[in-house]
Amino acid sequence: MQALLDVYKIRQDFPILSRKLFDGKNLVYLDNAATTQKPKEVIDAISRYYSEYNANIHRAVYQIAEEATEEYEKTREKIRKFINARHSEEIIFTRNTTESINLVAYAWGGSNVKKGNKIILTEYEHHSNLVPWQVLGRTKGAKLNYLQVDNEGYISLEELDKIISITGEGKTKLITLSEMSNVLGTIFPVKELIKLAHDKKIPVLLDGAQSVPHMPTDVQDTDCDFLAFSAHKMLGPTGVGVLYVKKEILEKMNPFISGGDMIKEVHKENTIFNEIPYKFEGGTPNIADVIGFGAAIDYLNEIGMKNVREHEVKMTEYLMSKLTEIKSIKIYGPKRSEDRGGLVSFNIEGIHPHDCATILNDFGVAIRSGHHCAQVLMEKLDIVASSRASLYIYNTKEEIDILIDALNHARRIFKT
Residue 373 known to be catalytic: yes
Angle between helices 157-167 and 190-199 (to 10 degrees): 20
Q: What is the 3-state secondary structure (H, E, C) of 330-368?
A: EEECCCCHHHECCEEEEEECCECHHHHHHHHHCCCEECE
Write out the DSSP string of 106-129. IIIHHHH--TT-EEEEETT--GGG
- Measure the CA–CA gap between 86 and 77, rounded to whole angstroms: 10
* From 373, 378, 383, 404, active-site residue: 373
Element (H, E) at 165: helix 157-167
Tens digits of per-residue pLDDT, 122-162?
A: 999 999 999 999 999 999 999 999 999 988 889 998 988 88
Q: 183: Cβ–Cβ under 8 A, 6 or more apart, which residues?
A: 124, 332, 333, 345, 372, 374, 377, 386, 388
pTM for the model: 0.95
Q: Structural domains in the chain? A: 7-30+304-414 (3.90.1150.10), 44-301 (3.40.640.10)
- State the pLDDT at residue 1: 33
Residue 2: its pLDDT value, please? 44
**Res 166: pLDDT:** 72
pLDDT at 169: 59
Sheet-wide strand order for 91-94 = 91-94, 241-245, 226-230, 204-207, 172-178, 118-122, 143-147
Q: What is the largest CA-CA distance in the chain?
A: 73
List all residues 6 or more positions away from 198 whose beta carbon is below 8 Å from its beta carbon.
204, 223
Q: Give the CA count within 13 Å in the CB-facing half-sphere of 34.
A: 14
Q: Which residues of the chain have pLDDT under 70?
A: 1-4, 167-170
